[in-house]
A and B are shown apart, each in its own frame.
Chain A
Amino acid sequence: MSTVSVITGPRRGWRSAGTWIGAAIVGVATVCAIFAPLIVPHDPFTQDLSKRLLPPFWMAGTNPDHLLGTDQLGRDYLSRLIWGCRISMLIGITVTIVSGLIGITLGVLGGFLGGRVDDAVLFAITTRLSIPVVLVALAVVGLLGSSMALLVLTLGLLLWDRFAVVARSTTMQVRNLDFVAAAWCAGCSRARILLGEVLPNIASHLVVVATLEIALAILLEAALSFLGLGVPPPLPSWGLMIAEAKDYMFFSPWVIVIPGVALFVLVLGINLLGDGLRDLFGARSDP
């Protein structure tokens, strides 16, 4: 067959506007997260009941001192938003480190060793997928009391499945490539081959999974905090901000719109960046 299909492809990788928008959002969020104590205009925990529920700058009756207004306890909304970004990013990244360590270890071992080990890893993945994440996370936090460390550990123990699936399948592909066979023949040890040959070659796939997992962890933390079993108050998690403002939302919708938009934009940005990286690496992220 001599049929040639020449269709100009879509813009991908760094040539895509989406990647740049994603990178910009993640960049701003990172700066906010790291320098939150320095850039917040007010203390995010100081209450001032004389200034309750001030509207943001685009509405009538705004106070120029509080650009995004104040919450039901008179705390500065912009400051709480920036502080909340710090919490979201912190949780997203730490949860991904925990889940990545678990998932990558399991996946690489299963994919590399095969046989019984692989059967066990597959069984672990199947079992993990059958467990309802939100329910179990709620139960753990509900029974043990809410703290950041517990939340991170719980989510980390629950979100490793995609890491395991992708690490396992990519390891299987790499294992059968010529340079790994060459390393075997050169007498390299198993550990040397795993760390020196396999891991570097599946790293790009795992980076893409990591972006997706950071986004997922941030969304889950917000949902758990919204249900009151995530980040403990008075920490300004975005999910908690929405939960606390819920009773006022019919009269002052912006109290839930502002943290919700922040959450949506951050997660969208991380996903856009992840998609860009995937196209850049030519990696796959779907199980």
Chain B
Amino acid sequence: MSALLEVEQLEVSFGRTGAVRGAALTVERGETHCLVGESGCGKSVTALAVMNLLARGARRSARRLAFEGQDLTRLSDQGMAHLRGNAMAMIFQEPMTSLNPAYTVGSQMTEVLRRHKKASQRAATDRAADLLARVGITAPGLRLGQFPHQLSGGLRQRVMIAMALMCDPKLLIADEPTTALDVTVQAQILRLLASLQRDLGLGMLLITHDLGIVARVAHRVSVMYAGEVVESAPTTELFANPRHPYTQGLLRCVPVPGRIKRDQPLGSIPGTVPRIEPGFQGCAFRERCDFADATCAKTIPRHAATADHDFLCRLPA
């Protein structure tokens, strides 16, 4: 049986700027796959490209982009719309603005089920109330009749999650779902996502730049840099044995209890993500890398450290 989501050689460009350059990743059924990297490295664009939600003016191509073995690049707009919100759902970074201010929570939730499953308003309302209760919202009946502006940011993100679950999706893409929330609420939402993923057997693609989140919830991690997946491995393997200098740098930036000493400064990676012009070759990280030399400007081979751990660097060790 094929994996839930397979992406190979994904390219997305806006005009002459390449936002995603040959990214590859695989999400298995029932697995949480984290996509990490600093802002502007193409994580969100990758997710939007999978959902075919890119802004007008963006160009997308891929050697393979398949959901349950079905080729998404050949799917019509209508076929794609039939999958979205149904078998694959997405939640976003901005809960404050992601709900339509003109409609009640109930009307926005029920329309998904009514569209994809041809459910009655009655059945859809029942399901919406159940799901609101499931995501930890008290008095769901009351909330269904409320408008988004009457809810806090944390509540709105819970509504977004419940709405994404309306049609029992197999894949849930969560694009930095906690970034815009208060720290205490962040932890609650994250715990909720992790428990939903486990209980419902969801495949989840979780986009984040927070390695603390990754360590707690991910089964597998892919590290993105400048539009490429530079390293991908099971979570424990990646944290124990990071191979790409960028991954190593990222891990040095995270305080891990027991591993860092009190008076020792935290690590940091100097510089910023470079702008990738057309015709760019070699490793995009070389300008910021301690190990870089002339060969880094040539095509970089992908190495396999173990059967399910690979990375993109000229250094084999």
Contact = CB atoms under 8 A, between A and B. Distances in A.
A8 B16 CA distance: 12
B15 A6 contact: yes
Interface stretch (B39-47, B106-114, B188-196, B288-296): B39-47
Contacts of B44: 1-3
Given A7-B56, A7-B57, A2 B41 contact: yes
Contacts of A3: 44-45, 48, 54-55
A5 B19 contact: no
Given A1-B44, A1-B93, A6 B56 contact: no
A5 B57 contact: yes
A2 B42 contact: yes
Interface in B55-75: 55-58
Contacts of A7: 56-57
Interface residues of B, number: 21
Which DSSP category, helix, strand, loop or mixed, fits chain A's interface? Answer: loop
Which DSSP category, helix, strand, loop or mixed, fits chain B's interface? Answer: loop
Contacts of A4: 14, 17, 19
A2 B17 CA distance: 13
Q: What interface size band does chain A fall in?
A: under 10
B57 A6 contact: yes
A3 B45 CA distance: 6
Nearest to A8: B15
Contacts of B42: 2
Interface string A1-21: 111111110000000000000
Interface string A21-63: 0000000000000000000000000000000000000000000
Nearest to B16: A6
B40 A6 contact: no
A2 to B, nearest CB: 5
A153 to B, nearest CB: 47
A10 B17 CA distance: 20
Interface of B: 14-15, 17, 19, 39-45, 48, 54-58, 93-94, 175-176
Given A2-B44, A4-B19, A7-B57, 12 more contacts: A1-B93, A1-B94, A1-B176, A2-B43, A3-B44, A3-B54, A3-B55, A4-B14, A5-B56, A6-B17, A7-B56, A8-B15
10 contacts: A1-B93, A1-B94, A1-B176, A2-B41, A4-B17, A5-B14, A5-B56, A6-B15, A6-B57, A7-B56
